[in-house]
């Protein structure tokens, strides 16, 4: 399969640092923040990221499939995580150094806690509010979050993104989309 030609579409209100590795057909939505040293690889199909997401340093987002990898709004990808999910809804958190295989899809308000490795043998979609965390036995346990406090958390994430949109451009060169 031929690699996609590079095509970056970056919303004017997004903050994408210069030192970000982009490959393939990538669309980044309004208010989304991509830290330096993050990597977005659209190997087989395009990647489309929604609004107000945060992609931290060292995070790697890969689309291995031909279909479009859609990432919704208000998602947080923490330092050094690796995500290959074919689709991701809204308000999910992927923790530091967590790794998610391309057989898993995230719906909404899912949390993959720090360091978890999830490799389902067949395609699976996590229900909303699912939390995957490293349990006492070192394996990844799952539970369902009550959702209590989600409004305060959403508020916090918005403030987080807002702060980054203010501060990152002061210390980093930014990328602009083609034609912008």
Complex with other proteins: residue 135 or 169, whichever CB lies closer? 135
Interacting residue with other proteins among 135, 166, 167, 176 (CB under 8 A): 135
Complex with other proteins: residue 96 or 172, whichever CB lies closer? 96
Interacting residue with other proteins among 145, 165, 168, 174 (CB under 8 A): 145
What is the SS3 assignment for 31-77? Answer: CCEECCCCEEEECCCCEEECCCCEECCCCEEEECCCCCEEECCCCEE
Give which of 74, 67, 77, 12 is closest to 38, Cα–Cα.
Answer: 77
Q: How far is the CB of 2 from other proteins (least distance, A)?
A: 42
Interacting residue with other proteins among 121, 152, 178, 179 (CB under 8 A): 152
Judged by the rule CB under 8 A, the positions of this chain that interact with other proteins are 111, 113-114, 131, 133-137, 141-143, 145-146, 148-152, 155, 158-159, 162
């Amino acid at each position: 399969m031929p690699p996609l030609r590079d095509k970056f579409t970056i919303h004017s209100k997004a903050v994408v640092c210069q030192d970000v590795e982009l490959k393939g057909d990538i669309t980044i939505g309004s208010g989304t923040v991509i830290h330096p040293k993050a990597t977005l690889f659209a190997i087989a199909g395009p990647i489309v990221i929604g609004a107000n997401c945060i992609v931290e340093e060292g995070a790697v987002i890969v689309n291995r499939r031909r279909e479009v990898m859609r990432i919704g709004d208000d998602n947080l990808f923490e330092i050094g995580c690796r995500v290959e999910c074919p689709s991701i809804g809204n308000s999910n958190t992927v923790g530091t150094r967590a790794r998610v295989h391309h057989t898993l899809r995230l719906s909404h308000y899912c949390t993959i806690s720090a360091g978890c490795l999830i490799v389902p043998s067949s395609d699976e979609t996590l229900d909303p509010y699912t939390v995957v965390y490293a349990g006492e036995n070192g394996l990844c346990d799952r539970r369902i979050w009550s959702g209590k406090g989600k409004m305060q958390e959403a508020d916090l994430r918005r403030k987080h993104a807002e702060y980054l949109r203010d501060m990152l451009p002061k210390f980093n060169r930014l990328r602009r989309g083609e034609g912008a």
